[in-house]
Amino acid sequence: MLKLKKYNNITWVNIVEPDEADLKYMTDNFKFHQLDIKDIRGEAQRSKIDIYPFYAFIVLRFPVTYNDSTLIGSHELDVFLGENYVITIQKKKLKSLNQYFYKVANNKKLQNEVFNGKSALLLYHILEELYRSSFSIIDWLALELNRVEQKVFNEETKQAVKDLAQTRRNILTFRSIIDPQRFVFKTLVNLQRDYLSKDLAIYFDDIADSIDKIYNILFNYKELIDGLHETNESLISHSLNRVIKILTIFSVSMLPLTLLTGFYGMNLESLPLIHNESLVWCIFGGLAVIIIGLFMYLKKKDII
């Protein structure tokens, strides 16, 4: 699906899930390198930038969440930046980008702002909107970390292990999406072409700062989730040691009773006190009192 908005001699072409007709439109109206068209047709790629004399081809990936999953995924955005046009190609629908396109298309004041100057300024506004929407996922991850932290310290160990693994995966996925884009925008900041003049470099430097901020937040989240993982492992280990300690004390405390029952369980007439049943029961009772007293003492000392 292809949508087009032209204003002040600058054209924004927004293509969602391109088909053959959309690709034919690009090859008929623009002189793009065949390798770039091949990239659009092909599988998802890492973020990158290819520089040509009359245009730049940029591949970016943005994190997305799904209604039926708690895992973060990513959608690819391919961008062609020329002197008087910006082409955005969504291999899968990016909701925030489409909303911004219709917002610009239906708002004259906003058009005067984003179509004011060169096409690179339009691209800056587009990317600024996309990275702003990425911060909502950062906020969501923060809430997930707080939820996992509560489960860890409430010793809900079984569920905490699963949630820790899931949250750690989401953080690492987000980092792997953002990391290559740091190089892309450093290249844009230093790029000198007719379609990207030096006075616009500061705008893309602003986006580069946003990306660094996101990356640093994710780095801190990674440190926090690793700390929670170690804490959860320590709590599990402590709980396991406590159970083993109780079982060991219980087993050892039962040894005298086991010895006596084995001793008096033999079918012999010559066993001591065998004809004095009350005395035998007193011995068993005394041992039971000693064992119970030992358990109470260990409990009072918080050993078990």
Instruction: Output the CA–CA distances (angstroms, integers) from residue 75 to 39, 42, 46, 227, 294, in the order listed.
Output: 14, 14, 11, 30, 64
Percent of the chain at pLDDT exceeding 90: 13
Is residue 136 within 8 A of residue 215, CB to CB? The reply is no
- Both tokens assigned to 33: 């390198």
Model pLDDT for residues 88-129, shown as the tens digit of each residue: 999 888 888 888 888 888 888 888 888 887 888 888 899 998
pTM of structure: 0.76
Q: Residue 292 pairs with which residues in a beta bridge?
A: none
Residue (of 165, 143, 171, 160) closest to 232 by Cα position: 160
Question: Which CATH superfamily, name and number, covers 2-236?
Answer: CorA soluble domain-like (3.30.460.20)
Q: What is the CA radius of gyration of the chain?
A: 34
Give per-residue pLDDT as tens, 261-278: 776 666 666 666 666 667
* Predicted confidence (pLDDT) per residue in 185-229, tens digit: 888 888 777 777 777 788 888 888 989 999 999 999 999 998 888
Question: What amino acid occupies position 168?
Answer: R
User: Quick one: pLDDT band at residue 174, thresholds 50, 70, 90?
Assistant: very high
